[in-house]
A and B are shown apart, each in its own frame.
Chain A
């Protein structure tokens, strides 16, 4: 070390210059960014495998042509594909060889293959490294799934595939009215609690806001934090809770207006009332230190019965599986009605399909890819998926009457109870990331710093209009 600095006069200026150069290097070079989804050759159509359409083969696949599938290897695992879907597919099509592979880096593995005109036939576009699906649709790389959803279901007689699905499932994978994605897993959102703890204390699940706050008082008196969420990285769970309440007050139209960046959408009375009600919960019943905690920390506290209600989706039970003590029984409650004049009834819930599977338009065997999707949408495959992943599917009632885990049974019951009052919620959080970011900060302020509903609405309205006026942001609409 000493030698380097023994003659500083010789090196110093060079060193400083070099240091300056390092500083310039440190400036992230966005210029390096040059992803491209647009490519792919158009001439591959002639080589695609097809067969004769018949009642038994509604998508007209070539029974002898192989199908290549790629599954995202993440929280859901891959066993459902290898142990359930593929055997089921081969039962019907014994001569069609299924080539399977799994990856954690969907975009890295698949995007170059799409651009080279050699994509797999069925792709599970998921995980943090997923491809921008809107861009794939725009580039014409995803197969139109209209015929798949119109085809008869594999094992539910007398119904088309679309008819076997929960409301909104097809819509959620549609772009400009045409379905391109099959969103397979089904997430139910609500207030999660420990059924055993509630039974022990004789607490009943509230359906009105007055019952909710009365129960919160009791829970607080018992030395337990009544309600909590993690402000540091999971405040969007709270955004969903608030907007679900708003949706129940004024129907899903309120949320559609938000998605469509309609002027005044965030100033809607439904949103103000929801923000007001939740702000009070924040003022009275939340633990202020949760602002600095991460989701796993708050979820752990719930497992230790230190937090009673936690707003989350139905993945929670599986996520916490290894930390849940015996005797802890996850259950979900619909968000209580905020006012007596709520347009949707108390059992109404927010549930959304997720986890994209699609057939590549320019692969060797798109019909085979779609047939694989049809297999996945059979009742048998859906039940297998739910058993393996502890996650519901968009196939309605596929796991009815089957006991898998308390949380899942509870979520399934909530869906049944809600009946037709299930709404898909909002999409602005994936469409406009910047607005999503603002909503997280705004909801944290509302819940941890005073519960000012008007401030929340003003701040979100301003951010929403800023996005609406920003020409550099690609806009989407829904109806």
Chain B
């Protein structure tokens, strides 16, 4: 058996590695190369050194977009994880324990399905639906629910709240998945631990903070990485929902949208590549930081 081991492994790896090299690694190398050019997307390529990065440094919209991505990076994971944890706890353990098993609150099986619904909708559909929810006049769902004599809220058309609206939709869409993820994690926590704690007279709140959270910490960290990466994207929602895509006045612009518009609309493939390189390093830094933090925590689990 041992003799055939390497051909066997290589046979499995060669296709995916080739695909990965062609469509990911090669494309990345090309992006780095293009970021040093002023290529328009058509015609000859001319190299301009680090001009694109200097331009980027002075680009107000770039800094705005970075701020918006950081806003999402901080708030999206925190809020989503907290909500998902609470819901997952209620669905699995919140009903207390009877006959030696812990249970969720009444009707938890139905809730679990309902929570997962948003995950089944394509992001584009979610964006269109929430475009109507946040409609700026009385035909918008929220404005329609407000008392008739209120001045309509502009939501996405208001520079102050546009990004918040995007955040809310991202959370709404993500929570369901993490409820299921955390539920699975909670399912793997031995029931005896809860039982023992309950015998000692622990309340539901104590159970949540002293038992569920620590034993679920690993799953939470996985969720954190996923959500962090989602925060670097947000392209579809911003592209479909916002005023003038990324507006008003760049109030909802994010890096991914900037890359898309520069590459495919403004014929500035070189500049778009430079933005792509920045996003690459941001994502890399985020992933590296998260991995570092995880290593330190591994004792706990």
Contact = CB atoms under 8 A, between A and B. Distances in A.
A30 B43 contact: no
A15 interface: yes
Nearest to A435: B266
Contacts of A20: 225, 229, 283-284, 287-288, 290-291
A24 B222 contact: no
A235 B218 contact: no
Interface string B21-50: 001101111110110001111110000100
Contacts of B218: 8-9, 12
B68 to A, nearest CB: 16
Interface in A1-56: 1-2, 4-6, 8-9, 12-13, 15-17, 19-20, 22-33, 35-38
Contacts of A122: none
A472 B226 CA distance: 36
A231 B219 contact: no
A24 B280 contact: yes
A349 B200 CA distance: 85
A38 B43 contact: yes
Contact of B184 (A5, A12, A15, A24): A5
A8 to B, nearest CB: 4
Interface in B148-168: 152, 154-157
Question: What is the predominant secondary structure among interface residues of chain A facing chain B?
Answer: helix
Q: Chain A CB within 10 Å — which of B27, B42, B286 has the most?
A: B42
Given A23-B287, A28-B256, A29-B276, A472 B268 contact: yes
A441 B33 CA distance: 32
A417 interface: no
Interface in A252-293: 287-293
Given A30-B34, A289-B136, A434-B266, A9 B301 contact: yes
Given A20-B225, A293-B136, A472-B40, A28 B287 contact: no
B176 interface: no
Contacts of A16: 221-222, 225, 287, 290-291, 294
Contacts of B30: 29-32
Interface in B275-301: 276, 279-280, 283-284, 286-288, 290-291, 294, 298, 301
Q: How large is the interface on A (under 10, 10 to 19, 20 to 34, 35 or more residues)?
A: 35 or more
Interface residues of B, number: 80
B271 A5 contact: no
A1 B279 CA distance: 32
Contact of A6 (B34, B188, B259, B263): B188
A27 B229 contact: no
Contact of B260 (A1, A2, A28, A440): A28
Nearest to A37: B42
Contact of A23 (B232, B249, B263): B232
B259 A472 contact: no
B267 interface: yes
A31 B27 contact: yes
A16 B222 CA distance: 6
Interface stretch (B3-11, B81-89, B191-199, B240-248): B240-248
Given A23-B229, A472-B270, A289 B137 contact: yes
A135 interface: yes
A474 interface: yes
Given A232-B243, A441-B247, A472-B268, A292 B154 contact: yes
Contacts of B248: 231, 291, 441, 444-445
Given A20-B229, A433-B265, 5 more contacts: A22-B229, A30-B273, A35-B42, A289-B137, A472-B268
